[in-house]
């Protein structure tokens, strides 16, 4: 029954990775709102009001993440997380375009954050597509 243990472990890995990405998004939003720019270099002195647009965008993303998590917990359906992951990955070219038209340099660490959170959302959302009826069987399996 190594297969059952492997599937349970994979489910746990996808789920914990998703929650870690939520925590990273929270920490990033809090750090940027507090003015700490050690992880992501957004300097309001360099960019002026445009830097605050990026910070507010990250706060809105975190608030929407909480709303989506609440919805998924109530409905017990995490398929919407897959779509959110796709949108998080689509933010990357949008940020590049935003930086290009406003002539500002966007820190590469911000792209890495969106790549990680986007793929963790996609993995966890894809898990709910493939195991919608098998998860209950796995939970009841000795």
The Cα-based distances of 7 to 35, 109, 130, 138, 142 in angstroms read 42, 32, 12, 8, 14
How far apart, in whole angstroms, are the C-alpha atoms of residue 124 and residue 17? Answer: 8
Tokens of 104: 């500002």
pTM metric for this prediction: 0.78
Q: Residue 45 has what pLDDT?
A: 52
2-59 confidence digits (pLDDT tens): 577 887 888 889 889 999 998 888 888 787 777 666 666 655 555 566 667 777 888 8
pLDDT category of residue 96 using cuts at 50, 70 and 90:
confident
Number of Cβ within 10 Å of residue 133's Cβ equals 7
Please give the average per-residue pLDDT across 109-116, as a whole number: 88
Please give the average per-residue pLDDT across 97-102, as a whole number: 84
Q: Where are the domains of the chain?
A: 31-140
């Amino acid at each position: 029954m190594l297969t059952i243990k492997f599937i349970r472990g994979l489910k746990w890995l996808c789920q914990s990775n998703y929650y870690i990405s939520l925590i990273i998004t929270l920490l990033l939003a809090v750090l940027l709102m507090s003015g700490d720019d050690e992880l992501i270099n957004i300097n309001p002195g360099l960019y002026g009001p445009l830097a605050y647009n990026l910070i507010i965008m990250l706060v809105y993303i975190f608030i929407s993440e909480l709303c989506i998590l609440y919805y998924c917990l109530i409905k017990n359906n995490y398929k919407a997380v897959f779509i959110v992951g796709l949108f998080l990955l689509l933010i990357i070219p949008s940020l590049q375009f935003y930086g290009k038209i406003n002539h500002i340099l966007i820190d590469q660490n911000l792209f890495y954050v969106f790549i990680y959170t986007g793929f963790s959302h996609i993995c966890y959302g894809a898990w709910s597509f493939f195991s919608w009826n098998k998860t209950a069987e796995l939970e009841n399996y000795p």
